[in-house]
Amino acid sequence: MTAAHVRAASELAISALLLFVAAAAPATAATYHVRSDGGDSEQCDGRSDAAYPGKGSAQSCAWKHPFNALPPGKPPRIAGGDTLVIHDGSYMMGFGAPDADACSSDSRADCVMAPVPGGPSPTQLTRILGNNDMGQCKGKMPELWATERARMVLRLEDSSNVELACLEVTDHSGCIKGHNHAGKTAGETERCRSDAAPFGDWGEYGLYARDSGNVLLRDLDIHGMAVNGIRAGRVRDWTLQRVKLRANGWAGWDGDISQGKGGSSSNSGRMVFSGGEISWNGCGERYPGKQVFGCWGQKQGGYGDGLGTARSGGQWLFEDMRIHHNTSDGLDLLYMDGSGSVTVRRVRAEGNGGNQIKVAGPVTIENSIAVGSCAYFASFPTSNMIETDHCRAMGNTLSLTLTGGALATVRHNTLAGQGDCLLITLGGNDAARVLVQNNVFLGGSEWRSKDGNHDDVCGHYASDSDASVVFERNLFWKIKDNKCPAGNLCDSDPGLTDASLAHFNATPRAGSPLIDAGKALPQPKDDFNRKPRPVGTAPDIGAIEVQAQGSRKP
């Protein structure tokens, strides 16, 4: 073979290899745009951040509605790994919206966006972003609002490797689906119309998800939905950063997707909630003023958890969260199956109508403030709750259920409340252990009366449990029968800045017995405000280290 033949054969081999690599490589991800002044899917290709020029088809311009990208009842017009940028504006989601011609008038609830197509890999995400987001939200977030009892606004079914960011999700009605009460204001109703169309400007879920993994939710404001902010089950490896779930009529996050059919809703992997807020769920939200009203509880047929799941696994982490004024439990992970764990770190929970924090399995609770003002809604002016809804589940501030021989660690927290007990431990075999270290237990008068007498709140109660409970360097004040384990600070005023449940401030005052009175521990290295604790010397008892006060409200 001549040198020329060798060179030609080599060039052919290289060409074939390049063709093979090109065929095997994923298609280049595209970026699409939605603008209120865009065009429909025939007028614009969605590939440009530009208004529709007013004439022509297949123009290089933005679509006018999210349904143009994810049309109800039709295949998506974006692919896995693409980015959809939704620019500033208000977009009606449901029957009657643009590109909803496949929807049936007889089935308006099902007029919802196509599921978001999953990304090709964990490093190639499909992204739905508000306002050309490049890591931070810019300006006012675009509003996606449900109408005509739409089942959901955002949809992640079999959708993995997805990011959703910088979006406001809501509806334009204050009603709650299935509410059992008429409004207190003339002409106002708290119950959504479900008997006949038109149903009005309301929807059930802000986001619905199942069989969905590796998802990032960032800077979402989901509020005022008629049922749940998020309904999600069988999900894995989700991260929520700065997500707000506020004033959704049944629950903030409802993790039961079986709907009474006995199917699994169990989650897996890492479930991370960071820097967000879960509040006022179990209440309606008036439109457009956003006033909270119509709060109801489980004794009336509602729900009211801030976050609750069905039986579940997974490693759950809650950090730097505010979980408050939900009509039932604030955080309810009672049904953890023992295959995972729960960590609660730098969380403030207060004003929830049941338990502030209820968790199961191996557990770590640290640097958190839990104010068990469980009867808050008894004096809330627009609440419909009845007396048995207040302080439900005995209103215990912190409820721990151990699975098998699990370890629970409760350290450097400040606990107060008006329920039965500040800490209750349940379950676990004789290998289970609870370490309770450097906490403040601040009791007072229990809200529920027994035979007309208001007892003091108990510090700790073990129910049907073989677990050993070890108390080290905690402070107990105003506790029933002055019960206080040896080796702890007993019957001592903690000297907090404000010990009232209504204005609770956990920062120790000068001269507080909490200062430098704790047991030196290897963890945590910081306090509620992310300020360092001393190394090698005694830290302060409770969530706040006075030498390390920060700017965040304690």
pLDDT above 60: residue 183: no
Q: Is 110 helix (H, G, I), strand (E, B) or coil?
A: helix
Q: How far apart are CA 307 and CA 330, in angstroms?
A: 7
| pLDDT for the residue 450 | 62
Of 71, 82, 97, which Cα lies nearest the Cα of 47? 82
For residue range 371-385, what is the model confidence (pLDDT) as tens digits? Answer: 999 999 999 987 778
Domain ranges of the chain: 88-310, 313-554
| pLDDT for the residue 554 | 58
pLDDT above 80: residue 103: yes
| pLDDT for the residue 536 | 85
For residue range 124-165, what is the model confidence (pLDDT) as tens digits? Answer: 999 999 997 777 898 899 999 999 999 999 999 999 999 999
pLDDT above 80: residue 60: yes
Kindly indicate the confidence band of residue 353, based on its pLDDT and cuts at 50, 70 and 90.
very high
For residue range 207-260, what is the model confidence (pLDDT) as tens digits? Answer: 999 999 999 999 999 999 999 999 999 999 999 999 999 999 999 999 999 865
pLDDT above 50: residue 506: yes
Q: What is the mean pLDDT of the chain?
A: 91
Share in percent of the chain as helix, strand, coil (round to 5) = 10, 35, 55
Q: How far apart are CA 554 and CA 552, in angstroms?
A: 6
Contact 541, 499 (CB under 8 A): no
For residue range 418-461, what is the model confidence (pLDDT) as tens digits? Answer: 999 999 999 999 999 999 999 999 999 999 866 566 789 999 99
For residue range 34-52, what is the model confidence (pLDDT) as tens digits? Answer: 999 999 999 999 999 999 9
Region 511-519 average pLDDT: 97
* Percent over 70 (pLDDT), the chain: 90
For residue range 296-346, what is the model confidence (pLDDT) as tens digits? Answer: 998 888 999 999 999 999 999 999 999 999 999 999 999 999 999 999 999
Amino acid identity for residue 424 in this structure: I
pLDDT above 70: residue 22: no
Cross-strand bridge partners of residue 307: 253, 331
Region 476-482 average pLDDT: 95
pLDDT above 60: residue 24: no
Of 229-233, 282-286, 384-388, the range with the lowest mean pLDDT is 384-388
CB atoms within 10 A of CB 248: 35
DSSP conformation class of 394: G
pLDDT above 60: residue 14: no
Kindly indicate the confidence band of residue 15, based on its pLDDT and cuts at 50, 70 and 90.
very low
Region 476-488 average pLDDT: 95
